């Protein structure tokens, strides 16, 4: 937590591309976009009171976890048939269609976000306006989409990756209050693919959801609280905490003049090691597997992580997943904790 009074030149400094790249190296894949986003953030940073090192660290860690600062549109075309079946309810129910639509962003979005919990367009019912009891008994669309077209029209976009008509409509209200006559995000959702609108809408969301206060009130221990508001069901909580640690160092919170002496928000020096161990353990061969087959080779399947700079020493399995041997696992672990 920050103390009252005083000043800190770091807190007042603008974001830099170098800081962003330090936290999210993948930003270099689209340097032009990353720099444009930095410029737009700096234009309205003060208006939204992003004026402490800790707020900046939280904001960048979360925005980057959503986009890597190298894209503003959700990438559905890269999903394999296997990943579509595993990730989205529609394809879990209709696995035979997954292979048919691989690489077709529009068709995928219409089904996973438009149809969502049903299999026919005539059965789509938005959850908006229904009571809690009705939401539990009806297979309503929790994204607020009213038809299949909405699934594609309101695909994940922007720095927060807004998804679904309901979220677009909500943030559009706040956006228009903060930036009158600047555009309509529901009538023209593709505006969020432009850096200016991506940043303005994300900042509106950040303030509207009370995230600035959470960011100011706590460091590492508040990461999960912020993540749960942005994306309650995400499987990236551990990664977001690791990104916050990177941001802690990129924004030099250890030198921040406003942090109180008894501040408890500084990351434990072993946190990156803990995150690395957690990651390694998630890939380890189980004891049950070894009992079943003592000769089980230490080769694990893994999903290429967002921001990774390509494979080290990997090959493809028959299922299309990349796999790595023990030596690469160690290399990646060391990369996690450096």
Pairing of strands 314-316, 299-302: unpaired
Q: Are 251 and 290 in the same domain? A: no
d(CA 2, CA 54): 9
Q: Are 59 and 173 in the same domain? A: yes
User: Under a CB-based contact definition with an 8 Å cutoff, are residues 124 and 115 in contact?
Assistant: yes
pLDDT tens digits for 118-144? 999 999 999 999 998 888 888 999 999
- Residue 262 covered by a domain: no
Which two tokens mark 39?
Answer: 């410029």
Q: Are 17 and 141 in the same domain? A: no
- Residue 25 covered by a domain: yes
- Residue 49 covered by a domain: yes
Dihedral sign, Cα of residue 49, residue 55, residue 60, residue 61: negative
Domain total for the chain?
A: 3
pTM: predicted TM-score of the whole model, two decimal places: 0.75
- Residue 291 covered by a domain: yes
- Residue 221 covered by a domain: yes
For the stretch 69-102, what's the b/e string if a residue is b when 16 or more beta carbons lie within 10 angstroms of its beta carbon?
Answer: bbbbbbebeebbbbbbbeebebbeebeebbeebb
Q: Are 138 and 194 in the same domain? A: no
pLDDT tens digits for 35-54? 999 999 999 999 999 999 99
Q: Are 186 and 51 in the same domain? A: yes
Q: Are 147 and 250 in the same domain? A: no
Dihedral sign, Cα of residue 29, residue 157, residue 140, residue 142: positive
Identify the burial level of 259 via C-beta atoms within 10 angstroms of its C-beta, where 0-12 means exposed, 13-18 middle and 19 or more buried.
Answer: buried
Which of 199, 220, 255 is the C-terminal boundary of a domain?
255
- Residue 55: domain span: 9-71+166-255
Which of 128, 153, 178 is the C-terminal boundary of a domain?
153
- Residue 261 covered by a domain: no
- Residue 161 covered by a domain: no
The CA R_g of the chain, rounded to the nearest whole Å, is 22
Percentages helix, strand, coil for the chain, rounded to the nearest 5? 55, 5, 40
pLDDT tens digits for 151-164? 999 999 999 999 99
Q: Are 239 and 278 in the same domain? A: no
List per-residue pLDDT tens for the chain, 338 residues long. 554 445 788 999 999 999 999 999 999 999 999 999 999 999 999 999 999 999 999 999 999 999 999 999 999 999 999 999 999 999 999 999 999 999 999 999 999 999 999 999 999 999 999 998 888 888 999 999 999 999 999 999 999 999 999 999 999 998 888 888 889 999 999 999 999 999 999 998 999 899 999 999 999 999 999 999 998 878 889 899 999 999 999 999 988 888 765 554 556 555 556 566 655 665 565 556 556 666 655 555 444 444 444 333 344 444 444 555 555 556 655 555 55
């Amino acid at each position: 937590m920050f103390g009252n009074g005083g000043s800190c030149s770091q807190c007042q400094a603008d974001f830099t591309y170098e800081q962003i790249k330090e936290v999210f190296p993948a930003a270099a894949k689209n340097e032009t976009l990353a720099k444009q986003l930095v410029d737009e953030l700096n234009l309205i940073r003060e208006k939204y009171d992003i004026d402490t090192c800790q707020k900046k660290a939280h904001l960048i860690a979360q925005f980057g976890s959503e986009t890597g600062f190298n894209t503003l549109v959700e990438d559905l075309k890269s999903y394999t048939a296997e990943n579509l079946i595993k990730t989205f309810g529609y394809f879990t129910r209709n696995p035979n269609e997954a292979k048919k639509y691989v690489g077709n962003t529009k068709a995928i979005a219409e089904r996973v976000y438009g149809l969502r919990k049903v299999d026919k367009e005539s059965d789509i019912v938005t959850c908006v306006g229904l009571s809690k009891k009705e939401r539990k008994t009806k297979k309503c669309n929790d994204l607020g989409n009213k038809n299949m077209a909405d699934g594609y029209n309101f695909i994940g976009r922007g720095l927060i990756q807004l998804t679904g008509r309901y979220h677009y409509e909500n943030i559009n209200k706040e956006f228009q209050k903060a930036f009158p006559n600047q555009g309509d995000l529901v009538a023209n959702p593709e505006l969020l693919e432009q850096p200016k609108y991506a940043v303005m809408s994300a900042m509106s969301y950040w303030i509207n959801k009370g995230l600035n206060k959470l960011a100011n009130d706590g460091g590492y221990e508040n990461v999960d609280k912020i993540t749960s508001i942005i994306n309650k069901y995400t499987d990236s909580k551990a990664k977001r905490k690791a990104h916050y640690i990177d941001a802690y160092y990129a924004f030099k919170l250890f030198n921040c003049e406003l942090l109180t002496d008894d501040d408890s928000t500084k990351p434990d020096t072993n946190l990156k090691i803990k995150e690395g161990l957690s990651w390694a353990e998630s890939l380890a061969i189980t004891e049950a597997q070894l009992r079943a087959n003592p000769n089980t080779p230490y080769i694990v399947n893994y999903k290429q992580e967002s921001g990774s700079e390509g494979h080290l020493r990997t090959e493809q399995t028959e299922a299309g997943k990349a796999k790595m041997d023990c030596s690469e696992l160690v290399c990646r672990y060391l990369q996690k904790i450096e």
